[in-house]
């Protein structure tokens, strides 16, 4: 529907129902162009089936990494603009230019993540997304030219943001950070990850430090469920590496395995330094995608 809206040049950002859109003018679009419309729907369904199945024959590993990250987006708005991109950019054989698609995914990740930090409401994405959809169907690149971010202001907002374990945005940031690791494989989308605290709250790790992003990682639910909240990093890492039980595999998160193999504990300094690295890396990511000003 959003592809058809963009083709018609519609700028209204009101979220219209699927039935309402197609029944306009006595189903004029379906009556006049039903072959094209239904062929497009089949092509689009096949594309999303490939995403759901993480089709390695269709997508490169680095593209699958970014699609994995987007699976942890705050909402499903990314699927709408991605559908428009696919329908407008696919080749005659149904494939996409890998480099351009990879770049597109990076840009929408950077934009959505930064926007969510500053304004978590889904409605805030509609205006810029709908404008970019019109550009996409016209064969132009996504730029978000009118919506770039002041890097200093965004960094300050991220430093103040409460990345609590219950917030979806926390897992969003952790998914993005995890997939930056060149040694990280792409986990199945069916794997359920939760937010893991590397160090417990205590005399040295106060509640504010405990909730810093640098004290968190994604961790499979099956592994996290076996770890007591009273455990510190030295106790937890044997669960990360799978050494706690022959019945439990090690985590798929490469950074956790690396930390478990190189650190005997994870203290306040480690938490602060890792938090700084994550936040600064995201600001660089924003700049790399030409979204910083």
Token pair 């306040």: residue: 268
What would the DSSP string read from start to end of 128-193?
A: HHHHHHHHHHTTPPP--GGG-B-HHHHHHHHHHS---TT-HHHHHHHHHHHHT-TT-----TTS-E
State the sign of the Cα–Cα–Cα–Cα dihedral 153, 156, 161, 165.
Answer: positive
Which segments of 53-150 does DSSP mark as H helices, in order? Answer: 61-70, 77-89, 98-118, 123-137
Model confidence, pTM:
0.90
Q: Pick the residue with more confidence: 123 or 77?
A: 77
At residue 203, the pLDDT reads: 77
* Res 245 pLDDT > 90: no
Ordered by start, the domain boundaries in the chain are: 2-147, 159-288
**pLDDT tens sequence across 18-53:** 455 555 555 555 554 666 677 778 899 999 999 999
Give SS3 for 126: helix
């Amino acid at each position: 529907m959003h592809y058809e809206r963009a083709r018609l040049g519609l700028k209204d950002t009101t979220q219209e129902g699927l039935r309402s859109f197609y029944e306009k003018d006595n189903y004029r679009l379906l009556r006049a162009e039903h072959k094209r419309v239904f062929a497009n729907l089949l092509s689009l369904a096949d594309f999303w089936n490939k995403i759901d199945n993480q089709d390695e024959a269709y997508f490169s590993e680095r593209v699958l990494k970014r699609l994995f990250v987007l699976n942890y987006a705050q909402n499903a708005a990314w699927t709408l603009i991605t559908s428009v991109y696919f329908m407008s950019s696919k080749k005659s054989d149904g494939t996409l230019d890998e480099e351009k698609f990879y770049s597109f995914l990076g840009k929408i990740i950077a934009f959505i993540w930064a926007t969510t930090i500053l304004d978590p409401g889904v409605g805030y994405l509609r205006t810029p997304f709908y404008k970019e959809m019109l550009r996409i169907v016209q064969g132009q690149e996504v730029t978000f030219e009118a919506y770039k971010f002041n890097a200093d202001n965004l960094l300050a907002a991220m430093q103040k943001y409460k990345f609590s374990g219950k917030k979806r945005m926390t897992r969003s940031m952790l998914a993005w950070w995890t997939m930056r690791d060149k040694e990280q494989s792409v986990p199945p989308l069916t794997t359920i990850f939760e937010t893991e605290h590397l160090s417990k709250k205590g005399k040295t790790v106060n509640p504010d430090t405990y909730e810093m992003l640098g004290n968190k990682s994604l961790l499979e639910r099956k592994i996290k469920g076996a770890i007591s909240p009273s455990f510190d990093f030295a106790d937890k890492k044997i669960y990360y590496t799978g050494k706690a039980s022959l019945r439990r595999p090690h985590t798929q998160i490469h950074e956790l395995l690396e930390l478990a193999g190189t650190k005997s504990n994870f203290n306040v300094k480690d938490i602060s330094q890792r938090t700084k690295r994550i936040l600064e890396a995201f600001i660089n990511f924003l700049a790399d995608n030409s979204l910083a000003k």
